[in-house]
């Protein structure tokens, strides 16, 4: 990890984002090897991300937009 990545991590942590939103963001940004590791570690999160990605507006089941 570079110093820049460390500092960006501090900025992200300061926003207090929900944990799984960070995991999903990492999945979207990951290269092939890191995406595979994240899928293995968080299979249900990966499945939900894929479901939402392909759902209109990211809404699944009978969810209402915020």
Would you say residue 47 lies in a domain?
yes
Residue 51, domain member (yes or no): yes
Q: How many residues does the chain have?
A: 66
3-class DSSP assignment, residue 30: coil
Q: Give pLDDT tens digits for 6-56.
A: 999 999 999 999 999 999 999 999 999 999 999 999 999 999 999 999 999
**Residue 3 pLDDT exceeds 90:** yes
**Structural domain total, the chain:** 1
- Give pLDDT, residue 62: 86
Note whether residue 64 is domain-resident: no
Number of Cβ within a 10 Å radius of residue 44 = 8
pLDDT for 63: 92
Closest to 45 measured CA to CA, from 17, 24, 22: 24
Calpha distance 48→41 (Å, rounded): 14
Judge whether 39 lies within some domain: yes
40 within a domain of the structure (yes/no): yes
pTM comes to: 0.84
Q: Is residue 3 part of a domain?
A: no
pLDDT band at 58 (very low <50, low <70, confident <90, very high): very high
Neighbours of 58 (CB within 10 A): 12
């Amino acid at each position: 990890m570079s110093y820049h990545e460390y500092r960006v991590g501090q900025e992200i942590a300061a926003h207090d984002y929900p944990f799984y939103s960070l995991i999903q963001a990492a999945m979207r940004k990951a290269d092939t090897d890191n995406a595979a590791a994240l899928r293995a570690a968080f299979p249900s999160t990966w499945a939900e991300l894929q479901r939402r990605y392909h759902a209109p507006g990211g809404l699944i089941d009978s969810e209402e937009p915020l």
